[in-house]
Amino acid sequence: MRSKTAGPFWVTVDLFFRNGELFRRYRDAPALGAELFERLYGTDPQLVKRQPVDNLNMIKISFPRPKPQGWMGERDMHGGQLYTRLLDVEIG
Amino acid sequence: MTQTHRASGEVVVLVPTGMLGAGIRREHVRYGIAAGAHAIAADSGSTDSGPSYLARGVSKMNRESIKRDLDILMDVASRAKIPLLIGTCGTSGTDSGVDWTRDIAIEVARELGITPKIACLYSEQTAVDLASRNRQGKIAPLPPMGPVSNEVLESCEHIVALMGPEPYIAALQAGADIILGGRTTDTAVLAAVPLLNGAGAGPAWHAAKVAECGGQCTVNPRLGGVLMRVGKDAFDIEPLDPANQCSPESVSAHMLYESSDPYRLTEPGGLLDVTKADYQSLNARVTRVTGSRWEPMPYTMKLEGARGGDFQTIMIMGIEDPEVLAHLDEFHDTLQRVLTDRIKTTFGDEASSFDLSLRFYGWNGTSGRPVPAGTPAPRDVGVMFVVTAPTQDLANRMAKACNPYFFHTPLRLGIELPSYAFPFTPAEMPRGQVYEFLLNHVVHTRDGFELVRTNWTDLAQTTRGVPASA
């Protein structure tokens, strides 16, 4: 799992699955839906983008940063640690 | 005079690095030349490093690093009689970034004893011009932004438009040996030469996307840049370092890097679609890609704009006191209240707009989010105090006023005054200005030239050592 800014206004999270079977099981899981990202990051759920990348057993999820990169209260300029909020999420 | 056309089925572009100034290795560049490179192309910028470079119009890389890399590239390009293209000069691609890079290139040329024809491409925009286009409905927001007001345009210190390949192609056709471009899409700098020389548009743009971060698409990103060979329907990508490889996995994974869409990438004048791309190993080091598609679209250029805001001063201290550590949320709230009162009391009206932020590293400093109930106390916490105010001087004075309270506030009243652990004295550290990007918009143009200016410096036409500039 990794996260990074995709330009100053978006965050992109890549979820890599160990094998094709696990990937296919969670590829379209509702537990990884927009509401999760709204809850964890305060982002607009209508703008959350989810794209499976089949040949890499990976799901890419992107969402707008609630505040732009570098704002006065910035704690993670490049979004490198934003993914950790997902670590405790049960996806079934 | 540089040759721009070769009779060949493939166009070969040497990409020595993902960022000019990062430290190019001469043997990598020699390898690319020996392999028949038609051009050298590299990116000199990024928005990744944050908005301060655009707001200030200064380079992230220092002059020595840029000069060192240019020295290698200009020497090699001149000997091989191939063009050198550098995009987004000076990190943010402002006019001053281009000029700064040009001045370094002129110095290098003198030292090498060469007289290249240099084209400078400028893509910085004025708020006045953009406001006029805005009124004509030619500026559209990209999510999550809404329409931009002219006031916001005016508040930017610098605004740049991201160039496509067209101005680079035109400069090459006019005989440029070296092209120094302002803000350009990372891909356009690399796609220009293949597009000029008849390569397929899909492969040219896709190859450029893969190669733009240099070694990032290889198995070992630390080992330098890549070579792209672009044909009509396919492209090959290989590392410049003999010990490195471009595998189908490392190449296909690169489309994911820092982009919110793994398959479709909007560029000036079109869209790159790699949904049906196929990645095959040609040999142990080289990957061949087919199936990349380019869809021409009405021309748009993305805008970037940044400004400087308020100023910050910070203090850091460490806490090991177990009672405090066992009640960190309570301590945070107490400290926040005490320091806010202290600022308001001391500064009165001057404190009409300030922000105070306390971040507890070792607890929740990185995210700032509430900690789940029952989380065990840490052994050690680093508390960072950040005050934000309209001037650096005011931020410094607010931090000074807070210093003794920051240092001595107990968990609760009635306890003997503690002293926490300051690593430095004085504790207040002026951190500088907060910068922000303000624009995430595109401007619709007729073509790739409407918002771009070109200047020429031909070192072959000098009068008593002074270059002729047009």
**Percent share of chain B, pLDDT over 90:** 84
Contact between chains at A70 and B436 (C-beta distance less than 8 A): yes
CB half-sphere exposure, B338, CA atoms < 13 A: 21
The reported pLDDT for the residue numbered B2 is: 46
The reported pLDDT for the residue numbered B9 is: 76
Contact between chains at A8 and B440 (C-beta distance less than 8 A): yes
Instruction: Report whether pLDDT(B408) > 90.
Output: yes
User: Chain A residue closest to B309 (CA)?
Assistant: A72
Largest separation between any pair of C-alpha atoms in chain A: 43
- The ipTM value here is 0.91
B432 at interface of A, judged by CB pairs closer than 8 A:
no
Instruction: Report whether pLDDT(B5) > 60.
Output: no
User: Chain A residue closest to B356 (CA)?
Assistant: A73
**Cβ under 8 Å to A: B residues 441-470:** none
**3-state SS, residue B39:** strand
B388 at interface of A, judged by CB pairs closer than 8 A:
yes
User: Chain A residue closest to B49 (CA)?
Assistant: A78
Lowest mean pLDDT among B114-128, B152-166, B200-214: B200-214
**Average pLDDT score, chain B:** 92
Of A7, A55, A73, the CB nearest to B252: A55
Structure-model confidence comparison of residues B213 and B450, the more confident one: B450
The amino acid at B454: T
Chain B contacts of A77, Cβ < 8 Å?
A: 50
Average pLDDT over every residue of B101-127 = 98
Q: Which residues contact B269 (CB under 8 A, 6 or more apart)?
A: B164, B166, B296, B297, B299, B448
pLDDT band at B468 (very low <50, low <70, confident <90, very high): low
Chain A contacts of B435, Cβ < 8 Å?
A: 70
Q: Which residues contact A62 (CB under 8 A, 6 or more apart)?
A: A6, A10, A11, A12, A13, A48, A49, A51, B260, B261
User: Chain B residue closest to A45 (CA)?
Assistant: B144
A vs B, Cβ pairs < 8 A, gives 89
The reported pLDDT for the residue numbered B111 is: 97
Closest CA to B70 of B42, B40, B105, B103: B105
CB B299 within 8 A of CB B447: yes
The reported pLDDT for the residue numbered B4 is: 38
**3-state SS, residue B284:** coil
Average pLDDT over every residue of A39-67 = 92
